[in-house]
Amino acid sequence: MQARQQAQERAFAEAVYQTAWRLLPTPLPAPRAELLRKFLTPRATDLVQSYHETAPAKPTASDATEKAPPAKASTSTTAEKAPAAHLVLEMDVEVNRAAISDHLTRLGLMAGPKHPGVYAVRLGQGVTEADLKPLSDVFLLQGLARMALAPVQVSLERVPQGYLKAVLWAGAKSFVTDGQDLNQVWLDLWGKYFSAREQQPGGLGRPLEVSGFSQVDALLEFTKTLQSWDDCLREVQLSVIDLRPGNSTGRWTARLTNPERLDARLNGYLPSRKLTAVR
């Protein structure tokens, strides 16, 4: 039972990580990718919406079993415990893409050109440089580098009540959070910053117009398809419908986060359905 649970947890973690990887606007370098995997793995089970096994579980010998030296003769009558076996599970896992996207957003991994890259920090009472050292992996994952002067400034202090208080200033905007654990306080503070409307990636750009729909239902179904392309579009809204017999046209507004990826999706989707994007 334990082997099955471990295999299931590995499958969940891999499904969540692969989804996160597809949502990223650009691939991460290997060190940051590994840190992202470590960040998501303990959260993976909560991000799974449904799953089912697509094939019977297959037991396989563990590496330890395959590499173990031949057993030596012994006068002991105590039975030796057999090495644990692994299970291989083939699973179809459905994950919460919106929640995964929110994690990526709060880490700054979706910010694109709006990512500040650098920050300055002021340490107040009760917080020292030594307190920041355990956060080095968090800084690397977020893509943040500390500078003496930077447009984004953070202050950290331990207030008389005993908890930590953090404030981030970015221009006229400020964000505040508090808590006992510095790692969580740091993630919460920057999560608020990266989640702010003005930090969201992409822009509205020009409306997307597609013609060739034979029925209104097909046009509405395409709206759902656009909304599922969350690796390149956000906030998709159907704004105009031009109804014509056998050749209706729809116009959508959306926040465009990855133009190249959208073009690739449209080129793969429209021709086979005899639809045309109006450029």
Residues 109-118 pLDDT 10s: 999 888 999 9
What is the token pair recorded at 46? 């909560």
Res 185: pLDDT: 98
Coil, helix or strand for 236? strand
Coil, helix or strand for 223? helix
Res 207: pLDDT: 82
Closest CA to 112 of 197, 33, 26, 204: 26
Res 258: pLDDT: 85
Q: What is the DSSP letter of 25?
A: S
Question: Other C-beta atoms within 10 Å of 202: how many?
Answer: 20
Give residue 176's Cα distance to chain centre.
Answer: 23
CA angle, corner 236, sides to 233 and 241, nearest 5? 130
Place of tokens 């447009």: 151
Question: Is 16 within 8 Å of 48 (Cβ atoms)?
Answer: yes
* CATH fold for domain 109-199: Double Stranded RNA Binding Domain (3.30.160)
- Residue 154 pairs in a beta bridge with 121, 168
Residues 87-102 pLDDT 10s: 778 889 999 999 999 9
Domains of the chain, by residue range, sit at 2-64+86-105, 109-199, 208-277
| Secondary element (H or E) of residue 275 | none
Q: Which residues of the chain have pLDDT under 70?
A: 1, 60-85, 202-206, 279
Res 70: pLDDT: 39
* Distance, CA of 44 to CA of 34 (rounded, Å): 15
Question: Is 10 within 8 Å of 93 (Cβ atoms)?
Answer: no
Closest CA to 262 of 208, 200, 218: 208
What is the token pair recorded at 68? 């173990």
Sign of CA dihedral 212, 214, 218, 223: positive
Q: List the beta strands (DSSP E) in 7-75.
A: 48-60
Res 203: pLDDT: 65
Res 71: pLDDT: 35
- Residue 50 pairs in a beta bridge with 94
Read out DSSP for 199-212? Answer: G-SSB--SPEEEEE
Cβ-based burial of 120 (10 A; exposed 0-12, middle 13-18, buried ≥19): middle
